Amino acid sequence: MDLATIVGLVSAVAIVFMAMVVGATPDTYVNIPGLLILVGGTLAANMIKFPMRAYLGSFPLAVRTALFDRSESPWELVTTAGHLARHARRKDFAALENEPVRNPYFQRAIEMFVDGRDQEFAVSYLDHEMERAVERLELAEKVFAALAIARRPWA
């Protein structure tokens, strides 16, 4: 989890708690009917724009990305690829099964080559999987961009 996410969440809760300690009541900050209209109406209006599966799938994806972002730097990926290539050259593809690989695409590629899949098929399959992952992320991004626009009536 990113440090900024933790600091932001803790700070927001602390600020509201401090305001309540100095004399405000929770009713000052929470207007349930207004919250229902704002959040529920925004979500319902935004739901019209996207297929249900894509819309509902974007929220868990956003939570995973915000709280557990495991993106690797290009340098890490190149280093890992070089390490795996040297290891495969010294031994064989079967030896790669015992190598600790965090990247799911590298892991899947190793599994396919160890299983004896054709190289063209493996590359095509992995390219397709990568394209699908990018499409899912782009669609989730569009859902949240539409939510942001729905909150700005002047846009």
90-119 pLDDT, tens digit per residue, is 877 677 777 788 888 888 888 888 888 888
Q: pTM here?
A: 0.64
Cα 80 from Cα 107, distance rounded (Å): 11
- By C-alpha distance, which of 148, 152, 137, 154 is closest to 49? 148
